[in-house]
Structure 1
Amino acid sequence: MAAGDPFDFSPGAQIPLSGAAGQTAATQALASAAYRDDAVEELLKANSDWATSEVKKPRIALFEPNLGEAFSRAVQQRMLGGKPLIQSFGLEPRPVVEHCLAANRIRKQRDARLTLIMAVCGLLFLPGVLLWLGVFQLRRMLAGAQNKRAGALSTLLLTVLGVIAVIFLVKLPVHGFWSIYVRAMVIAPVIGGLWAKRICERTAKDLRSAWTGLLGGGGVAAKIPEAVPQSPGETAAERLRQSLERLSADQRSNIVFYAGPKGILGMGTRWGSWQLAEELIPLDPDKEINPFRSWDVIRAIHDQLRLLERSPVHTGGFTPPFVEHWVVSPIGEGATAVSRPEGTEGAFQIRGAELQKICNEQQFGSGDRHYLGVQFVLWDGQLVITLLITVTVLHKTLRIEVTGHALGPTHSVFNGKPKNRTKTFKKGLKFWETRTVTLPVVAPREVVRLAARAPLTWYPPLLEYWGGKLVLPEPFGLRHAWADKPWRHRFMADDALRAATPVLRVVHEAALRVLKENGVDTEHFGKRAGSLSVAIQDVKPTQADVYNA
């Protein structure tokens, strides 16, 4: 590692286990997607107003990935690629990425065995393998036809091909060695398929066990020993370790991005805004106001917000809030990338004198803006409430603005547990009764798909070219990309609306105290604060980032 690298804060070589930090419902729900075996199109149901993912259609249907394969590959490449990310408030992105790496590791072990089977049964009996793959590819193509007549024709065609094959094998036009080889090239792929089926079923059970464990709230650890350098010469492991550390540092950045009607990316919709703006008048007409800056007001508000969890009545009240100074950088609504400067502290943060300068001077015109934020992560990470405060002084007018942002739960697509494959039959004479039979975990067509993909998994770009892939939305962040709105959940909506009133009152109380200490007549400020305190009690969520002409 180069000297002066600004983001290596790790204690050294350790086996990453995602079982300590970030064990929340949102983290585990997204991590479970790495182990799923659903169709990749299921993920498109989770597209939100902030981000829309896409699926590139396969050129050959037999090489198409499932949801877990596409999700793990896409998230791993994007999160560890070095490009800036949108913070994932309410969850820890590192455990999600570690589970993607762990799931890919399990699949690689399976694919190594399947590749061996394809080498033995495929290279030696290549014509037979190509014949069987062609039959399954034809079946997949015809099975996807919407026309019922096409589906019936496909069944008839496959039946006819099977009969012809049997007749051909019984009475071959060749004799001697070639007759034995022709029969073997048809039978060997079947034997290889049975062997492959056992391997696929064993791996599927391991993946489903992790999937169920994560959604059940268990501490399923993602073991990725390839991220632990065993010797100084293992540069790949060292790069992976550094990428994971960089991901954690990127998550701690205090720079966020405002994307027009989409709001501040990662914080959800801005649903409310309350402004207190009055003239700065000296309390004593014979004296001038003591010089003070916006930072002085912000610092007083910051200290007061840290005491929000205290209450004169013991009723539970607020959870400990997370109070942070945010630097909001404007980007276009359709921007596909963001850039984040690397601070001197090595965690992509703006602190110290630079932060105070933005707060005091960058209040009008172009440039970044300073906001003081108080954030509550509730419902095991499924609800993120953020209230941002900004203080500006233009001429003789001081304005204190409080805005409310809410990010809802992860989409219900991520909460589904694995289901067993079943088939229902009618009982013989008792045709009015049915019998349900549990089928093997992996269907025969799935075994063929996995075996066909296995040799190409060693070069993923070629596999993505033929089989398609998941295209993540940009700018990308794990949390907001697949978040739902909180207003559909009554209790979540209530929590978001209730948090605004006490925070607003604390902000006004702290600000008025600073104004009094500096000789400002606070009568007009107090009246305005009182009217806002009354108005906010009848708060209703709106689209505050959409300005209607």
Structure 2
Amino acid sequence: MGVHSGQTAATQALSSAPYRDSAVAGLLAANPEAGVKPPRLSLFEPNLGEAFARAVQVRMLGGAHSETVQSFGMDPQTVVEHCLAANRIRQQRDIRLTAVMAVFGLLFLPGVLVWLAAFQLRRTLGKSSSAWAGTLGTLVLVVVAGLAVLLAWRPPLGGFWGLYVRVVLLFPIGGWYLAKRICERTAVDLRGRWGSLLGGPGPGAKIPEAVPRNPNDKRAEELRKSLVVLAAEQNSNVVFYAGPKGILGMGSRWGIWQLAEELLPADGKDFHQFRSWDVIRAIHDRLRELERGPLHTGGFPKPSIRHWIVAPVGEGAKAISRPTGETVDGFTVKDFEVQRICNEQQFGSGNRHYLGVQFVLWDGQLVITMMITVTVLHRTLRVEVTGHALGPVDGMFMSKPAPNTREVSKSVKFWETRTVHMPLVNSGEVVRLAARAPFTWFPPVLDFLGGKLTLPEPFGLRHTWAAKPWQHRFMADDALRTATPVLRAVHAATIGLLKENGVDTTRFEGRSLVLGGAVQDAKPGKADVYDA
């Protein structure tokens, strides 16, 4: 169930996040379960792109690898590669900024510290709700600028130190100008990639550090292996049921239809023996015909049909654990074990088997999954069909870069306004980037000073940032319309197999007709929230 041709909207939307320069608060609005460790100094606080790229890279490629949830309808490896590419672009910028800080910051350290303190005070005051806070912050910078002019005009000392005092607050301004040029070039590059990803195919992520340059390049080899593990996790056939949250990565369960009747012989004699796997196999064959219809008109695209092993986890679980052992190849349960679970693990503890038919629509923005499970308890055969829907990625990821503009009053006709294009990188942003640059070589120190983004667990790139599909009329229609043909195909396959094995299908056919009528009025609900 990977990404097919044309199903790239979700991938490109999330791939644009590492290149964004907006506030990190946007991620919290997209998912309140995400958190931000507050900065100790707001001057070192990361923006959205910096926080997202680092958090995703550490979470999905870190040394202490934690298992991740599959991302259906998109390619998580592409997103991770863009995080690496964005971090690499910023690293190249930070090398230049560190050189600027080394020259101007070390030689004129007292002046740089005064300017940094002024900008830090301005940022602190800017977060205040007081109407005078912004004005006061600007006044602080004016005072420091006035002090620089005063010291240059009449220094309190003579000789060499007098000359040093003259320029100690002026030379950092020159460093700021050089840093501004560096930051603007990088900002144009990052914004260009951001816009390209949302406007078309977008540029590919360049990560040369993932290609070993020699046999002893351990860092590149570890990165390559981490990307291989990520791809293997994405192809795993094990998913996790988290109570009211539904199946992680597939969305909550919005509908359920159960066909459960007693197994009785058709001719008074005993019927032929069969197992749950035989019913599932018949259903599997019938579901493959969904894309074909009697009329030459639009219909289902080719669905992805796959056998799943569903493991239960609690609603508040903070981690997932995939099965291991001889029955598992990588992260995938082997076919013979899937068949055994289908036939034997139907009651009590243990994982369960489901057959899933999945449609990835709207360029990957809508994932519809119908899950079928078959159980036989005593003489009762139960065929259960459940609907799951995962909506589009949050609208925040779909926003394109906007020019930095400002409405100001005209000088003569003051009652009219005009649009003024502001610098892409303002003075405060230049200072923030220059202050962070030397510490990017020590990420734990930078996290300590500026804070970091904490991702919600269990983490998966797709479901973590997904919105509800029911707020989009056509997406909701697609999800609801899927239930009827899938349900009827499942019932037809089940009843056909029962007839072949000599089972009386009268009750099954009657119950199927009832469900066939009820599913035509399907409404999304919270099937996993029990009123008990």
Same fold at TM > 0.5 = yes
Q: Does 1:69 find its partner at 2:53?
A: no
Q: Which whole-Å deviations, capped at 9, do the CAs of 1:439-475 have from their partners, x for residues lacking one?
A: 1211111000000000000111110111000000000
> For residues 450-469 of structure 1, what are the structure 2 equivalents within 5 Å?
450-469=433-452
CA contact (8 A) 2:366 2:392 kept: yes
CA contact (8 A) 2:44 2:432 kept: yes
Q: Does 1:57 find its partner at 2:41?
A: no
Choose from 255, 262, 284 the match for 1:302. 284
> For residues 195-206 of structure 1, what are the structure 2 equivalents within 5 Å?
195-206=178-189
Q: Distance in 1 between matches of 2:335 and 2:27?
A: 42
CA contact (8 A) 2:148 2:169 kept: no
CA contact (8 A) 1:343 1:350 kept: no
Amino acid at match of 2:42: A
Instruction: Quote how far apart the aligned CAs of 1:437 are.
Output: 1.6
CA contact (8 A) 1:91 1:381 kept: yes
Q: Which whole-Å deviations, capped at 9, do the CAs of 1:207-259 have from their partners, x for residues lacking one?
A: 00000000002231001010001211111101101111110110000101111
- Residue aligning to 1:35: 19
Q: Distance in 2 between matches of 1:176 and 1:486?
A: 73
> For residues 348-359 of structure 1, what are the structure 2 equivalents within 5 Å?
348-359=331-342
Q: Distance in 2 between matches of 1:543 and 1:341?
A: 29
Choose from 304, 313, 320 the match for 1:338. 320
Q: Distance in 1 between matches of 2:286 and 2:5?
A: 28
Amino acid at match of 1:466: L
- Residue aligning to 1:168: 151
344-353 or 325-334: which moved more? 344-353
- Residue aligning to 1:236: 219
> For residues 13-412 of structure 1, what are the structure 2 equivalents within 5 Å?
24-47=8-31, 52-81=33-62, 82-285=65-268, 287-342=269-324, 346-412=329-395
CA contact (8 A) 2:69 2:249 kept: yes
* Closer, same or farther: CA 443–150 of 1 in aligned 2, 3 Å: closer
Q: Which whole-Å deviations, capped at 9, do the CAs of 1:287-316 have from their partners, x for residues lacking one?
A: 212111000000110111111101110112
Amino acid at match of 1:289: F
- Residue aligning to 1:531: 514
Q: Distance in 2 between matches of 1:199 and 1:228?
A: 28
Amino acid at match of 2:24: V
305-314 or 430-439: which moved more? 430-439
Amino acid at match of 1:477: G
* Closer, same or farther: CA 23–98 of 1 in aligned 2, 3 Å: farther
Specify the SS of the correspondent of 1:393: strand
Specify the SS of the correspondent of 2:16: helix
Give 5+ residue unaligned stretches, structure 2: none
> For residues 495-514 of structure 1, what are the structure 2 equivalents within 5 Å?
495-514=478-497
Instruction: Quote how far apart the aligned CAs of 1:157 are.
Output: 4.3
CA contact (8 A) 1:22 1:92 kept: no
CA contact (8 A) 1:343 1:349 kept: no
Instruction: Quote how far apart the aligned CAs of 1:351 are.
Output: 2.3
Specify the SS of the correspondent of 1:186: coil
- Residue aligning to 1:6: none
CA contact (8 A) 2:153 2:166 kept: no
What's the TM-score once normalised by structure 1's chain length?
0.94
Matched-pair identity in %: 65
Amino acid at match of 1:38: S
Q: Which whole-Å deviations, capped at 9, do the CAs of 1:458-502 have from their partners, x for residues lacking one?
A: 111110111000000000000110100000100000000000000
Amino acid at match of 2:308: W
CA contact (8 A) 1:22 1:95 kept: no
Q: Distance in 2 between matches of 1:117 and 1:153?
A: 29
496-505 or 181-190: which moved more? 181-190
Choose from 457, 465, 480 the match for 1:482. 465
Q: Distance in 2 between matches of 1:155 and 1:329?
A: 57
Instruction: Quote how far apart the aligned CAs of 1:23 are.
Output: 5.8
Q: Distance in 1 between matches of 2:37 and 2:5?
A: 34
What's the TM-score once normalised by structure 2's chain length?
0.97
Instruction: Quote how far apart the aligned CAs of 1:186 are.
Output: 1.4
Q: How many residues align?
A: 527
Instruction: Quote how far apart the aligned CAs of 1:87 are.
Output: 0.5
- Residue aligning to 1:8: none
Amino acid at match of 1:146: S
Q: Distance in 2 between matches of 1:80 and 1:472?
A: 14
Q: Distance in 1 between matches of 2:200 and 2:359?
A: 21
Instruction: Quote how far apart the aligned CAs of 1:150 are.
Output: 3.7
Specify the SS of the correspondent of 1:148: coil
Amino acid at match of 1:304: R
Give 5+ residue unaligned stretches, structure 1: 1-18
CA contact (8 A) 1:54 1:472 kept: yes
